[in-house]
Structures are given as C-alpha cells and as structure tokens.
Amino acid sequence: MIKKIIFSIATLLLFTSAFAQKGDKKLDRSIRPVAAPAPGIKLGDIQSFVLPNGLKVFVVENHKQATVAYSIALDIKPALENDAVGTADVTSQLMTSGTKNKTKDQLDNDIDFIGATLSANPKGLYAASLKKQQTKLLELMSEVLLNPNFKQEELEKIKTQTLSGLAQEKDDPDAISNNVKAALNFGKDHPYGELTTEESVSKITLEKCNAYYQTYFRPNVAYMAIVGDVTLAEVKPLIEKYFGSWQKADVVSTSYTMPTAPSKTRVAVVNKAGAVQSVINVTYPVDLKLNSDDAIKAKVMNTILGAGFSSRLFVNLREKHGYTYGSYSSLNNDELVSEFSAYAKVRNAVTDSSVIEIMAELNRLRTEKVSQEELDGIKNFLTGNFAISLEDPATIARFAINTELYKLPKDYYANYLKNLAAVTSDDVYAMAQKYILPENATIFVVGDKEELSKKLAPFSATKTIEFYDISGNAVAAVAKPIPAGVTPKTVVADYVKTIGGAKALMKVKDVSTKMNTKFQGMDISITTSQKAPNKYSMAVKMGEMVIQKEVYDGKVGKQQSMQGKKDLEGDGLDDIKAQATMNLEMNYEKLGYKLSLKGIEAVNGKDAYMMEVVSPKGKKATEWYDVESKLKVRTSQTTTSEMGPITNTTDILEYKEVDGIKFPSVISISGAMSMKLTAESINVNKGVADSEFTIK
C-alpha cells in the first residue's frame, strides 16, 4: 500500500530587538520598550491606462530585478453551474491545453524555453518571466487568452484527471470536510456551496466550456496589473498590440442571497465508518469584505485565535492538552460572502473534549481583552509576513488590482503596516463581538458516527445531530432498519446466488485477473491469481517492470518490492491468507468470521445492506450489498500503519460474467492511494502454474 501524508506547516517569523547602552546608563528590564514606529512601505507608484475595449491596465515599476509579471483578473460573479459543477475550472485548464496556432506540447515547450510561468484560472490569467523575454511572454499570454482551441480529447483528459482527484477525495477526511463545510455554510443555491461530483463532471461539455469562456473572458470586466522592470511608456504599445483585439461584450452579473449564520448552534456529521480520527470545524458564514474598516482589525483578532504556532487554539489543543498536531482558525474576506472556521483533527476519544476547548477559546476572546504583550507579538508576526509577501511580484499585482477592484484608498497598502500597528486591544475585543459567534455556529465533524453521536449531541441547541453524505446531501440520522427475515446469512446467500451460485463457484479451480489504471500519467497493471484451495499472488507492474509482488503458496507468504524481499508476518500474512481463500464469502461461517447487519445505507445513490465482518483474529471490515441487485458494491477497512490510521474503501462499479460467474470488472479505490481499475482480462480455469505463487 502506498501511504499518504497530508500535513502543511506554516513559517513563523520571530522578531527580536537589541538595545544599546550608553555610558554608565543601565537597562531597566522592568520597563517595557517603546514600540518603534511602523515602517513605511514603498510599493511604487501605480500608473494606469484603459484600452478602447475596456481593459484597465495598472503598471507598478520595480527595477530591483530584471523580471516582469502580468496578471489579469476578471470582475465577474458567475451564475450557478447547476448540474455541470466544475465547468469553470475545466474551462480554465482547457485554455492552456492548446490554441488555434499551437498544440499543448508546443505551448508548453515555448513557455519552458523562455523559463516563464503561465497559468489560467476561472477568473483570470497570470504570466511571469525575465524582462528580456517579455515580448515572447505577451505573445504566448495573448495566444492563450484570445485563441483557445477547446478539443474533445483534451477535455476528456482533464475530466479523467478531475475524476481521479475526486476519487482520492472520497476517502480523504480533510477534503470531505472542506467540501461539505462549503455546502453547509453557503448552501447549494450559492456558487460557493456547489460541489463538483462525478455526476457533475460527466455533464461538462465543450459547448458549456465555450459558453463560459465566451461569456466571462471579456476585456471590459478585466483588470491587468504589470509589475516589474518596466515603464508605462514601454509596455503600453505592447499591451495595445497583443490585447487590443480582445473583443468586449456585455457580461451577465448574477446576484446572490447572503448566507447567514445558524440562529442557534447545530451539530452536523459526515459518517466515516471505522475512522479513528475526527476532523472538527466550528464554522459559519460572515459578511466581511476587503474594503471594510474591520478587515485589518479582524485579521489581527483571528491571528491571535488560531493563525500560527503561538495562537491560542494551537497552544491549547496541542501544547497544553496534546489532542492534535495542530489547531487553527481562519476568517477570510470576500466580495460575496466570507467564512469563519476553527479546525482540529483529533482522536475519537477526545473529540468532545476538543470541541469544548475550541468553544472555550472562542468565548474567551469575547469575554477577555487581549494583553498588550500578546497583541504586540501578533502584530510583529503579521508585519513580518506582510514584508516577506512583498518579495513576490504576484502579491504586488494583486494589490494593484485589489485597489481598483474593491475601491480601496490609493494608499491602502502603502499604509497597511501603519494601520496594523494602530490596532488596539479594544479593537480586537470589538471584532470578537462582531465575528466570533459560538452560539450561532455549525459544529461540523467528519468521523465515525457510532463513536461520536453520543459525544456530540450535547453541543447542539436541539440536542440532535444532522447527518450528511460526502456530497453535502442530508441523510437519515440512522440507517434504515433491516426488513424481517433478512440476516447476514441470507444476504451472503443471495450474493453467492447472484454471482453464479455455489455449484458454479465450486467448479472454479483457478482464476486470474489483469486490471489496468493510470497513476500520475503512468500505465499501471495489477494482476491477481488464485488457485484452489488457498494460493494467491498479486503483481503490480509499470510497463514490464514489477513494482511489487506478493504471494502465498498455501503455507508461506512473501513480498518482493523495490526495497527487496521479505517474509510476510502478522497482519500482512493474515490479509494475504484471507485473499487466498477461494470463495471467501461462502466460507465465512466455516472459517469463524462473525457477521452482523448494521442497517441500510445509500451507496452511490442506491440502498445497500451494511454488514460488519469480523475476522477470527478480530479485524473489522464493512461490506455493503445492494438491496436490489444483491451484489457486493463496497468494502471498507481501517488499518494502522507507521503513518497513522488509513481507511481504504473499494467501490465495485461493474461486474463482468465469465463462464457463468460474475466478477468485479471496474472498481474504484480510495484511501492510501486512489485510482480506478478496469479489467483487461478475466481467465477462469486456464491452469495457473504453481510457480506463479513463489518468489525466487
């Protein structure tokens, strides 16, 4: 198994002061040093002009380095994407996937040749290079912007990549949390609450992508910022040459209802059966715009709460209690609607304790004024971060565009540090009263509902929990009850009968399956073989190269990988023994497995019996059997690795009949590694040699 680690670490700057002594004057350490005045920031004068087509251009000269950066931002409020969510993202990817004059390879090679960066997003473009390459850079940028050539084959590639990413997110609790949190805070009738799904990706067409491009990529709603070793007189003719032909048009502007925080605290859960950790978000929408007088003060307040290693949430939940590797909060500003969230990923056993501490810190900020010492430390931290951000040309470009786009004072960023330094303890207290709303929050947790339900219900004002699926759809609080007469034995018997029946299965002496997938653009094949009564092998190949092979010859299990050979022991040996058992489901009772039905849940939109399967050695797994078709449609198991607990889920999407028996032919795996596998061949009773189950 390939293990995945997701953990990001922010950089913390520490500022120290030195004080010189003159003559015999001694330093009195009981007296707090007087803070130095906030340094002035020189961003360069912003010069501007407007093309006849409406493109607004801003030039910021910076002659310290021989580089130049061009940013285009669209002032748009797109309409809802409805059944084709993801169209805007796919459209922006298509824009850099070939033009009317260049293939994708030619475009990529030209960008690489001049050492440039060129990217597109649903609301604009960004390009940067050395000054000496700027003419070629503008040629490429205008080519991408004005002459995109959307092709079906490129669309299919992007959709495949998108689906691969979605498959990986299905079992990633942080991704699930981020997606469903958006749906809960903003609602699915708001563009921020729409979620890209496998179904919505299937509805994305070239026509819809072209419509998005034609509708929104227009110069009369565009702002271009140019930052670098240039002058206005130098770049104006170039902009006129390369972007003057960009055709303007009326652009629709959609209005949205402002989402509001809950009237009282609620608890929402996405069930992740078998998970040993919980992802917590205490969250709600807020109205905070960049041009608000509150923006800088609110940033200071949130940084105190949870935006660094010295923040209160981090110190409390990690340093003091050891509940988590890190706990943070965010309070963004946005022209449509903003969001507050306090986050932690913790062990199931301390989920309720962690929620208590998060809520305590929120209330503490509302009831106690921050000390001057803590406030000064946070302002120093933000001052350092701001200073470092100025080294990136993209930051200056964003400042130039933001100033015009959000109608900020012309000296907003030049005076940013002065305004930051002026924030007081009273200001922080006022911001907490306005934006920290523990009594109007959604306490949202991704985790095992069996472990969490009793622990979390007391936090809800109604003492009830709302349940959602990974797409943000409300689901029943409890699994549907099992109909009378349905038992684990009948579910397994129906499954065996549906895939071919016991007599046909008993005639299978060996079976070999080859399945193919792509991983990071590489062709991968996985070949598995079984031979009665209990031999098994699995080989993972990249082309003709064997990446990993595992075998069990009925007595001994071995593994061969890039790191060498080893005998399988412990859980690894137990797992391969189970895999080696021919017709395992038929033999559950005989082998000592314990089965129990937990209810009926929806799997890919259809009801399925959820059955817990406990091996003779106590290892738990969950299997789902479609109520209507009787086929097994999903399996899930959580294992412990050196990198922590990992839950692997396999969806069986299609079956193929071979010699009267149905075998899984298309499966989707999510967890440690996510991929979709399709069977190239399934061979039954073709005589698998015993040598297949050995490693020399």
Average pLDDT for 146-150: 96
Span of 31-35, 240-244, 653-657 with lowest mean pLDDT? 31-35
Average pLDDT for 353-382: 96
CATH class of 488-693: mainly beta
Give the chain's end-to-end CA distance (angstroms, integer): 22
Distance (Å, whole) CA 195 – CA 175: 12
Percentage with pLDDT > 70 across the chain:
92
| pLDDT over 90 at 475, yes or no | no
Q: What angle do CA 400, 403, 407 make, to 5 degrees?
A: 155
Do 182 and 195 meet the contact criterion of CB atoms below 8 Å apart? yes
| pLDDT over 50 at 12, yes or no | no
Residue 38: per-residue pLDDT: 56
Grouping H, G, I as helix, E, B as strand and the rest as coil, residue 570 is helix
Condensed to tens digits (0 to 9), the pLDDT of residues 629-640 reads: 999 999 988 776
Residue 44: per-residue pLDDT: 64
Q: How confident is the model at residue 405 (pLDDT cuts 50, 70, 90)?
A: confident
Do 151 and 102 meet the contact criterion of CB atoms below 8 Å apart? no
Condensed to tens digits (0 to 9), the pLDDT of residues 559-589 reads: 998 888 899 988 888 889 888 999 999 999 9
Residue 46: per-residue pLDDT: 83
Average pLDDT for 192-220: 95
CATH class of 266-387+407-475: alpha beta
Chain center to CA of 566: 36
Residue entry with tokens 């990001």: 8
Distance (Å, whole) CA 212 – CA 178: 25
Distance (Å, whole) CA 355 – CA 460: 12
Condensed to tens digits (0 to 9), the pLDDT of residues 513-528 reads: 999 998 767 889 999 9
Phi-psi category of residue 695: left, alpha or beta, with phi > 0 → left and psi -120 to 50 → alpha = beta
663 or 166, which is more confident: 663
Q: How confident is the model at residue 33 (pLDDT cuts 50, 70, 90)?
A: very low
DSSP assignment of 294-345, as one string?
THHHHHHHHHHHHSSTTSHHHIIIIIIT---S-EEEEE---SS-EEEEEEEE
Q: Which residues in the chain are classed under CATH 3.30.830.10?
A: 46-243, 266-387+407-475
Cis peptide upstream of residue 533 (ω within 30 degrees of 0): yes
Q: What angle do CA 65, 126, 198 make, to 5 degrees?
A: 145
**Which is it for strands 56-61 and 222-228: parallel, antiparallel or unpaired?**
parallel
Condensed to tens digits (0 to 9), the pLDDT of residues 77-114 reads: 888 999 999 999 999 999 999 999 999 999 999 999 99
71 or 544, which is more confident: 71
Q: How confident is the model at residue 1 (pLDDT cuts 50, 70, 90)?
A: very low
Average pLDDT for 258-270: 95
Residue 184: per-residue pLDDT: 96
| pLDDT over 90 at 551, yes or no | yes
Distance (Å, whole) CA 362 – CA 43: 36
Residue 642: per-residue pLDDT: 57
| pLDDT over 70 at 16, yes or no | no
Q: 564: which strand partners?
A: 561
Distance (Å, whole) CA 525 – CA 511: 17
Q: How confident is the model at residue 544 (pLDDT cuts 50, 70, 90)?
A: confident
Q: 558: which strand partners?
A: 551, 567
Distance (Å, whole) CA 163 – CA 157: 10
Q: How confident is the model at residue 20 (pLDDT cuts 50, 70, 90)?
A: very low
Condensed to tens digits (0 to 9), the pLDDT of residues 498-515 reads: 999 999 999 999 999 999
Mean pLDDT of the chain: 89
Q: Which residues in the chain are classed under CATH 2.50.20.10?
A: 488-693
Residue 24: per-residue pLDDT: 39
Among the listed residues 464, 72, 420, the one whose alpha carbon sits nearest the alpha carbon of residue 243: 72
Residues 6+ apart with CB under 8 A from 642: 3
CATH class of 46-243: alpha beta
Do 116 and 237 meet the contact criterion of CB atoms below 8 Å apart? no
Q: How confident is the model at residue 455 (pLDDT cuts 50, 70, 90)?
A: very high
Condensed to tens digits (0 to 9), the pLDDT of residues 319-340 reads: 999 999 999 999 999 989 999 9
